């Protein structure tokens, strides 16, 4: 009953004026481009909260790298990877296809803060990254190199074509590259440490059995 003071005026307004569903007039969402996914992973990157904004999906470079690693780990079952891949693909497609974008928002174009469902993508990044953190000891050099190659390729392509992203500054690029190097070195050092520990354990076991 206490909430009626808020819900009743809203109900009366909708009954009186109503609100038409937004018509789908084009296939692609406004201002979207091929490398949006990487452009919004640059540290400090921000365009706008108004019309023409691309999804705000930044949760940090490390979760982004670990998410790619997620799909290279053998301990994660194929059908699990497939389900996550389909979900990620559907969300990314929603950022680009206007009909899907409107579907997520009840077929109504918001006045500000476009792509309000983008938090689901960010949450998935964090969740898959957490799954990889639980399996850090399983990461091999080739897992790391494949993931790093994809991330670096995407970032370099975005830098080369940054004319499409006016909000990307030299500072954004510099900070991103610096943190990318730091995270890469830390992951590489951890992988080598795990390999070294395994080698020592195997050697000691061999000597003991001998």
What are the pLDDT digits (tens) for 139-181? 999 999 999 999 999 999 999 999 999 999 999 999 999 999 9
Render pLDDT for 128-143 as a digit per residue (tens, 0 to 9): 999 999 998 899 999 9
Helix and strand tally (H, E) in the chain? 8, 0
Tell me how far apart the alpha carbons of residues 206 and 210 are, in angstroms, rounded to a whole number.
6
Q: Which two tokens stand for residue 194?
A: 């795990």
Tell me how far apart the alpha carbons of residues 180 and 190 are, in angstroms, rounded to a whole number.
15
Render pLDDT for 89-125 as a digit per residue (tens, 0 to 9): 999 999 999 999 999 988 888 877 888 899 999 999 9
User: How remote is the C-alpha of 132 from its chain's centroid?
Assistant: 15
Asked if residue 69 lies in contact with residue 131, where contact means CB atoms within 8 angstroms, the answer is no
- Mean pLDDT over 186-191 rounds to 90
Tell me how far apart the alpha carbons of residues 51 and 109 are, in angstroms, rounded to a whole number.
10
Q: What is the pTM of this model?
A: 0.83
Exposure string for 125-146, b = 16+ CB within 10 A, e = fewer: beebbebbeeeeeebeeebbee
């Amino acid at each position: 009953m206490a909430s009626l003071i808020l819900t009743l005026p809203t109900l009366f307004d909708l009954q009186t004026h109503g609100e038409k569903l937004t018509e789908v007039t084009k296939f692609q969402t406004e201002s979207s481009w091929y490398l949006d996914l990487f452009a919004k992973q640059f540290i400090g990157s921000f365009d706008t909260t108004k019309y023409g904004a691309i999804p705000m999906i930044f949760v940090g470079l490390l979760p982004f790298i670990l998410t790619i690693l997620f799909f290279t780990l053998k301990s994660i079952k194929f059908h699990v990877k497939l389900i996550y891949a389909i979900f990620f693909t559907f969300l990314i497609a929603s950022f680009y296809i206007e009909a899907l974008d409107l579907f997520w928002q009840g077929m109504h174009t918001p006045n500000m803060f476009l792509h309000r469902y983008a938090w689901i993508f960010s949450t998935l990044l964090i969740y898959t990254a957490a799954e990889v953190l639980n399996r850090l000891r399983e990461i091999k050099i080739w897992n790391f190199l494949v993931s790093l190659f994809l991330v670096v390729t995407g970032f370099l392509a975005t830098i080369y074509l940054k004319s499409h992203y006016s909000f990307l500054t030299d500072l954004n690029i510099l900070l991103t590259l610096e943190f990318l190097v730091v995270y890469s070195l830390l992951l590489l050092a951890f992988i080598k440490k795990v390999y070294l520990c395994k080698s020592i354990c195997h050697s000691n076991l061999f000597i003991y059995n001998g």
